[in-house]
Amino acid sequence: MRLFIAEKPNLAQVIAQALGKHEHKEGYIKCGGDVVSYCVGHLLKIAPPEE
């Protein structure tokens, strides 16, 4: 199984379409033996140099 993590739901949809047959679930898309999931909102921030 491979896990693809997309930045946004619309990018996850594009990846799933490229992988072929897919099925939408809650919070992820199942593509055969692979899974495409996605994030919503900011996950990282730029830290000041002193951090």
Reference 26, options 38, 42, 17; nearest CA is: 38
Extents of the domains making up the chain: 3-38
Q: For every one of its 51 residues, what pLDDT tens digit does the chain have, with 9 covering 90 and above?
A: 999 999 899 999 999 999 999 999 999 999 999 999 999 887 778 888 886
Gyration radius of the chain's alpha carbons: 14
